Amino acid sequence: MVPTIDAFRCDGCGICVLKCPPQVMGVVKEVAVIITDLCDECGICNDVCPVGAVRFKLPERHYQPAHPAYRAVSR
């Protein structure tokens, strides 16, 4: 999931911009922005934001066991 910025909480400090590995963040009008198409969804911006302005949640992953028909045939 691509993070979203809480524009009311973000103070535009730019820490996330410096730490974003693919450098797809910037600050516009003192609010952080993300080029979402290029985001790696690593969550680092969420980790480094000192005021909790980044909303980021990993998607819930529910793995289903493979259907018996797809099990590998032992040789």
> What string marks each residue from 56 to 75 as x (binds ligand SF4 by CB under 6 A) or -?
--------------------
Helical H runs in 1-75?
A: 15-19, 44-48
> What string marks each residue from 2 to 41 as x (binds ligand SF4 by CB under 6 A) or -?
-x-x----xxxxxxx---xxx-xx-x----x-x----xxx
Amino acid at 46: N
Closest Cα to residue 41, out of 62, 19, 57, 26? 57
Q: What is the DSSP letter of 46?
A: H
Binding site for ligand SF4 (CB under 6 A): 3, 5, 10-16, 20-22, 24-25, 27, 32, 34, 39-45, 48-49, 51, 53-54
